[in-house]
Amino acid sequence: MASWLGTFALALAFCAALAGTGLWARAAVTGAPAPGRWTGLAPLSGAALAVGVAEWALLTHDFSLRFVAENGSLSTPVYYTVTSLWAAHDGSLLLWVLILTGYLAVVAARRSGTAALHGWATTVLFATTAFFSGLALFTGGVFDALSPAPSNGPGPNPLLSDHPAMGVHPPLLYTGLLGMAVPFAFAVAALISGQVGRSWVEVVRPYLLFAWTALTAGIVVGAWWSYAVLGWGGYWAWDPVENASLMPWLVATALVHSVMVQRRRGALPAWNIALAVGAFLLACLGSFLTRSGVVGSVHAFADSAVGPVLLGFLAALAVGVAVLVLMRSDRLGSSRHVGKVLSRGTAILANNLLLVTLAATVLIGTLFPLFAQWGGGPEVSVGPPYFDKMAVPVALLLLVMMAVGPMLAWRGDDPASVVRRRLLPVTVGAVVVAVVALLAPTGVAALLTFGLAAVVVTGVLTDALGRVRRTRRLERRRLAGLLAHLGVAVLLVGVAASSSYSSVREQTLHPGDSVTLAGHTARLVSVGRSRDARAMSTDARLRLTHGSGPAMTVSPGLSFYPAQTMTVARPAVVSRLSGDLYVTLLSVDGDRAATVRMAVNPLVGWIWAGGGLMVAGSLTALAGRRRRRRPVAPPPEPARPEPAVLETARG
Distances from the Cα of 102 to the Cαs of 106, 130, 140, 290, 503, in angstroms?
6, 13, 20, 22, 46
Look up residue 102 and give its amino acid: G
Question: Does residue 301 surpass a pLDDT of 90?
Answer: no
Lowest mean pLDDT segment, chosen from 346-350, 357-361, 592-596, 624-628: 624-628
Q: What is the pLDDT of residue 637?
A: 46
Q: Tell whether the torsion through CA atoms of 461, 413, 631 and 272 is positive or negative.
A: negative
Q: CB of 156 within 8 A of CB of 84?
A: yes
Q: Assign 523 to helix, strand or coil.
A: strand
Question: Does residue 632 surpass a pLDDT of 70?
Answer: no
CB atoms closer than 10 angstroms to residue 326: 9
Q: What is the mean pLDDT of the chain?
A: 88
- Provide mean pLDDT across the span 499-506: 94
Question: Does residue 645 surpass a pLDDT of 60?
Answer: no
Instruction: Tell me which of 521 and 1 has the higher pLDDT.
Output: 521
Q: CB of 390 within 8 A of CB of 443?
A: no
pLDDT in tens, 468-493: 888 777 788 888 999 999 999 999 99
- Phi/psi zone of residue 201: left (φ > 0), alpha (ψ -120 to 50 degrees), beta? alpha
- Provide mean pLDDT across the span 611-633: 74
416-423 long-range contacts, Cβ below 8 Å, gap at least 24? 418/342, 422/455, 422/459
Distance CA 262, CA 265 (A): 5
CA 302 and chain centroid, separation: 21
Question: Does residue 114 surpass a pLDDT of 90?
Answer: no
Give the residue among 531, 484, 517, 502 at the shortest CA–CA distance from 227.
502
Q: Assign 514 to helix, strand or coil.
A: strand
pLDDT in tens, 233-282: 889 989 888 999 999 999 999 999 999 999 888 888 899 999 999 999 99
pLDDT in tens, 365-407: 998 887 776 756 667 778 889 999 999 999 999 999 998 888 8
- Please tell me whether the peptide bond between 148 and the residue prior to it is cis, using omega within 30 degrees of 0: yes
Q: What is the pLDDT of residue 36?
A: 82
Distance CA 588, CA 594 (A): 4
Give the residue among 51, 114, 45 at the shortest CA–CA distance from 86.
51
pLDDT in tens, 422-464: 899 999 999 999 999 999 999 999 999 999 999 999 998 988 8
Span 503-602 CATH architecture = Sandwich (2.60)
Instruction: Tell me which of 319 and 298 has the higher pLDDT.
Output: 319
User: At 625, is the pLDDT very low, low, confident or very high (cuts 50, 70, 90)?
Assistant: low
Contacts (Cβ under 8 Å, ≥6 apart) of 634:
197, 198, 199, 202
Q: What is the pLDDT of residue 648?
A: 35
Q: Tell whether the torsion through CA atoms of 242, 243, 245 and 249 is positive or negative.
A: positive
pLDDT in tens, 116-151: 999 999 999 999 999 999 999 998 889 999 989 999
Domain residue spans in the chain? Answer: 1-157, 163-400, 401-501+605-616, 503-602
